[in-house]
Amino acid sequence: MTTFLDNFFFSYQTLIFALGINGLLALSMYTVLAVGQLSLGQAAFMGIGAYVSALLTLHLDWPFAAVLLAAMIVPALFALLIGGPTLKLTGVYLALATIALGEIIRIFCNTSDLTGGALGLSGIPNKTTFTLIFGLLALALVNFVLIARSRVGRAMEAMREDEVAAGVMGINLPAMKLGALVVSAMLAGLAGALNAHANSFIGPNDYGFDQAVTILSFALLGGIGSPFGPVLGAVILTLLPELLTALHDFKLVVNGFIIVVAVLYMPRGLLSWRIGRVG
């Protein structure tokens, strides 16, 4: 039995790790959507976290805990830089600015010698463990539930439902939006660092626009009534292509079809259950 489990784990380690890492990315997306904003910078924040962590490990040999911390702080600084001016405006400016950030990061990583150009960085030691990924995912979920059941959780839901009314309630809208963007950047950076130290290779095209849309689809499929929805969405969208491998070339067609049907018939996501807001 243990040999079976060992074999299973060995064969599917990449997939199992991806489930947890995508779960963290889904939570990162959720943080922004939960206050009624749209960011398409999750992939860029992830990329920043991945590159920062890989460079610190490869060149400076920092301890992994410090590396993970740095992989959260640096994207957070980028979030402050972008969020400061754009979040004062209403509308799609945040989405546009974060798309631009993604392109800047991609092009920079593609050309800079520091980041290994188009070849990316390889030989990153495998320091990510199963316990670490799922421990952090569980910790993040617990914290999200605690936040949800407090004044901050009520403010978030109010902003998502009606920003004008939320403002009239006395909710500090700019601070909430900026805070959400910073937290989401930290989560994405963390996921990027864990991913880099699980795959031993990272390249500039791993963090492009399509990855940003994939992360968005985790949250949209799962639903944003609670933090569990996006994680469920991430699990399904990570497993689905694997379960459909028998379909070979039709895999992506069926994958896309399932997403379209889910969004059409469950516009509020698979998990529409909402979390209580009283602590």
Partner 1 sequence: MTSMSNNLLKIEDLTVRFHGLVAVDHVSFQVEPGTVHGLIGPNGAGKTTCFNLISGLIPPTSGRAILAGAPLVGPSWKRTRAGLSRTFQNIRMFQEMTVRENVMTGMQARLHASVPEILSRLGRFRKEETAAKVRADELLEFVGLAASADRRAGDLSYGDQRRLEIARAVASGPKLLMLDEPAAGMNPTETRELVELLLRLKQDGLTLLLVEHDMHFVMSLCDRITVLNFGRKIAEGTPREVRENPDVIEAYLGAKVAERLKGGTA
Give whichever of 127 and 277 is closer to partner 1, judged by the CB atom. Answer: 277
Cβ neighbours for 71, distance < 8 A, ≥ 6 positions apart: 48, 49, 50, 52, 53, 56, 189, 190, 192, 193
Give whichever of 17 and 30 is closer to partner 1, judged by the CB atom. Answer: 30
Q: Is 103 in the site for partner 1 (CB under 8 A)?
A: no
Near partner 1 by CB under 8 A: residue from 110, 150, 205, 255: 150
User: Beta-carbon neighbour count of residue 54 at 10 Å?
Assistant: 28
> Is 44 within 8 Å of 50 (Cβ atoms)?
no
Near partner 1 by CB under 8 A: residue from 170, 249, 264, 265: 170
3-state helix, strand, coil in the chain (%, to 5): 75, 0, 20
Q: Tell me the residue type at 39.
A: S
Q: Is 162 in the site for partner 1 (CB under 8 A)?
A: yes
Give the count of residues interacting with partner 1 (CB under 8 A): 28
Q: Residue 164 Cβ, how far from partner 1 at the closest point, in Å? A: 7
CA angle 195, 132, 275 (to 5 degrees): 95
DSSP reduced 3-state for 90: coil
> Which one of the spans 14-22, 126-134, 152-160, 199-207 is the region binding partner 1 (CB under 8 A)?
152-160
Q: Is 7 in the site for partner 1 (CB under 8 A)?
A: no
Give whichever of 146 and 253 is closer to partner 1, judged by the CB atom. Answer: 146
Q: Is 154 in the site for partner 1 (CB under 8 A)?
A: yes
Q: Is 278 in the site for partner 1 (CB under 8 A)?
A: yes
> Which one of the spans 54-62, 94-102, 115-123, 160-168 is the region binding partner 1 (CB under 8 A)?
160-168
Give whichever of 161 and 242 is closer to partner 1, judged by the CB atom. Answer: 161
Give whichever of 168 and 260 is closer to partner 1, judged by the CB atom. Answer: 168
User: Beta-carbon neighbour count of residue 264 at 10 Å?
Assistant: 8
Site string for partner 1, 209-238 (x = CB under 8 A): ----------------x-------------
Indicate the helix (H) or strand (E) that contains 240: helix 228-243
Near partner 1 by CB under 8 A: residue from 104, 168, 260, 261: 168
Cβ neighbours for 50, distance < 8 A, ≥ 6 positions apart: 71, 192, 193, 195, 196, 202, 206, 207
Name residue, tokens 């469950």.
Answer: 266
> Is 98 within 8 Å of 105 (Cβ atoms)?
no
Near partner 1 by CB under 8 A: residue from 55, 79, 124, 157: 157
Cβ neighbours for 133, distance < 8 A, ≥ 6 positions apart: 17, 20, 21, 24, 194, 198
Give whichever of 106 and 177 is closer to partner 1, judged by the CB atom. Answer: 177
Q: Is 89 in the site for partner 1 (CB under 8 A)?
A: no
DSSP reduced 3-state for 121: strand
Residues that bind partner 1 (CB under 8 A): 143, 146-147, 150-152, 154-155, 157-158, 161-162, 164-173, 225, 274, 276-279
